[in-house]
Amino acid sequence: MPSPAPLPKHLTPLPPAAARPASSHRAWAFLIDIAVFVSVFAVIFGIYSIGRSWLGPVKVEAEISQNPRSLPLYAMYSLVRILVAYAISLVFALAYGYVAAKSKRAELVLIPLLDILQSIPVLSFLPGVMLAMVALFPSRQLGVELGSIILIFTGQVWNIAFSFYSSLKTVPRDLREAAIIYRFSRWQRFLELDLPFSTIGLVWNSMMSVAGGWFFLMACEMFVLGDKDFRLPGLGSYLQTAASNGNTRALMWGLGAMVAVIVLMDQLIWRPVIAWADKFKFEQVESSGNAHHSLLNFIRRESFLIRMYRRILHPVVDWMTLKFASGAKRAAETFAAPQGARPRRWIGWVFAGLGAMVVVYGVYRTIGELAQLHRADYFELLRSAGITFLRVNLALLIGAIWTIPVGVAIGFSPRFARLMQPLVQLAASIPATALFPVILLFLIRLRGGIEIAAMLLMLLGTQWYILFNVIAGAMAIPTDLKEAAQVFRFGTFDRWRHLILPGIFPYLVTGMVTASGGAWNASIVAEYFHFQGRIVKAPGLGSTISSASDAGHFNVLLASTLIMATVVVLINRLVWRRLYRLASTRFKLET
């Protein structure tokens, strides 16, 4: 048998591909199983510690230790509060946004209500929430803990709800028509169209919400309500105690612990989730820059966790999908639901009547509280509102100038995103209120330094809403549109005019709306601050709300909150609502 002809000298045979041995694959799976079991035991210990603390007797004016050894336990307490508040926020936002986007009648009520709720500062929720929770659990720490979680919830939920609502309003027409042709049930349409299409926006706004939870953590774990001083063990109360006492060493330890928690969350949660969410990008061609993450690939290997998911959770989801699909098929075949299945109208009238009675009673009590104030008080509140209005809009302008180009650069470049995403998340998560004492040390001696510090703190608390939404919008622009811009050789101006700005416009509007509400909300900590045993405040509506909350002047707190809500709602109706309508009609991805 003749021997094979030798290869030419300029060609060399390629070495055979080294296949991963089966033993190595089993070793990786074994390591994952060990990590899962260790995590389960850690979660059990955490549940035991938290349950013992929450179900114990109420602790008013609890002592907050400044010993760095307490930081791991405090970090766990704060992380649990933020994650529980985020889980509640996500469920609420999905339900709220879905109803508002799918029902025109509900939209007329729910969207203005969402505008009002996002404009109410955290401290304005404080009296009602804490009094209600303490009344429900008068002898247990659980009441104070639930109150703190609800306060964190009020700082997290609104931008997620706005993001999901905006995504549902911009679902392409051809995708909706495909769902109608294939007779998707409401569950199938939600699970296979609405939720996937809005995933990128939900992920980035979830990151922003968790960062907002860290931002308001100091106000939600340590607060004064009349003559009662509520203190919950956690990173927020640790940092606020250190800032109030001027303990720079403890402040640095607390910031270091918070940075460590944020970095771990970025590596273990957000980076894998962002890589996973990239597959829900609305594409007609294959993306050239898919996101990858080694930890996500590590978790995807055959392991106990994956096997449990495939054998338990996945069959349940499939069964629910088939169950709802069969119900939709039967409804489509009969073309009408049975008469007995239709909800009776009188039930709706009963709920409407009960709601009207609650509103009338609330208006009556509100008028009684507001009647205690004089005309001069209202003029002073309006003047304070004007000062905060100027400060808010200046913060939005400065934030938009740098966040739009940076966000587009991060969203367009996967390599740049891998570098910048953890940095911007870290910067957004570190409470500016923790850095505020250092800022005040340099600015308080300057003329107008307190106003500059308040402006800077408000900017640090609001610019991230715009940045995260712009990043999500830039990442959601389809690859085929980017390739078309390259084929037609768009210049920088045409690229921004015809591709980038129209592509990110719905996300930018969402970012500006939530940033506007966040700026008003941040004014309560930007204009009023406890510093080295004294109160430092700048004129504005935020400082009025904070001082009224500290002093227990509920009539002033109510009046200033109503003024703030009125201003925000008017801005949303005159500006942002029109831009939302433009985003859902003209700047909508269609084929």
Which of 35-39, 362-366, 425-429 shows the lowest mean pLDDT across its residues?
35-39
DSSP assignment string, 200-225? HHHHHHHHHHHHHHHHTHHHHHEEEE
Going by C-beta distance under 8 Å and a sequence separation of 6 or more, which residues neighbour residue 306?
Answer: 299, 300
Mean pLDDT of 570-574: 82
Is 506:583 a contact under the CB 8 Å cutoff? yes
Is pLDDT of 339 > 50?
no
DSSP assignment string, 558-573? HHHHHHHHHHHHHHII
- For domain 71-280+294-300+345-585, the CATH class is mainly alpha
Mean pLDDT of 217-232: 72
Q: How confident is the model at residue 303 (pLDDT cuts 50, 70, 90)?
A: very low
Tokens of 553: 């002047």
For residue 340, the model assigns a pLDDT of 46
- Percentage of residues of the chain with pLDDT beyond 90: 4
For residue 197, the model assigns a pLDDT of 87
pLDDT tens digit sequence for 439-474: 777 777 777 777 888 888 888 878 888 998 898 888
pLDDT tens digit sequence for 80-130: 889 999 999 999 999 999 998 888 888 888 887 887 777 776 666 766 777
Which of 67-81, 139-153, 215-229 shows the lowest mean pLDDT across its residues?
215-229
Q: 504 or 140, which is more confident?
A: 504
For residue 404, the model assigns a pLDDT of 93
State the Cα–Cα distance between residues 97 and 170, nearest whole angstrom: 13
Is 261:81 a contact under the CB 8 Å cutoff? no
For residue 432, the model assigns a pLDDT of 65
For residue 330, the model assigns a pLDDT of 54
State the Cα–Cα distance between residues 163 and 204, nearest whole angstrom: 10
| DSSP bridge pairs for 140 | 57
Quick one: which of 233, 89, 67 has its CA closest to 151?
Answer: 89
Q: Taking the domains of the chain in order of start, what are their residue ranges?
A: 71-280+294-300+345-585, 301-336
Which of 188-197, 222-231, 234-243, 387-396 shows the lowest mean pLDDT across its residues?
222-231
Average pLDDT, the chain: 75
Greatest alpha-carbon span in the chain: 111
For residue 92, the model assigns a pLDDT of 93
Is 275:563 a contact under the CB 8 Å cutoff? no
For residue 88, the model assigns a pLDDT of 92
Q: How confident is the model at residue 54 (pLDDT cuts 50, 70, 90)?
A: low
For residue 341, the model assigns a pLDDT of 44
Q: State phi, psi for 385 to the nearest 5 degrees.
A: -65, -40
For residue 332, the model assigns a pLDDT of 47
Q: State phi, psi for 588 to the nearest 5 degrees.
A: -120, 135
pLDDT tens digit sequence for 400-411: 999 999 999 988
| DSSP bridge pairs for 417 | none
pLDDT tens digit sequence for 257-288: 888 888 888 777 887 787 777 777 766 555 55
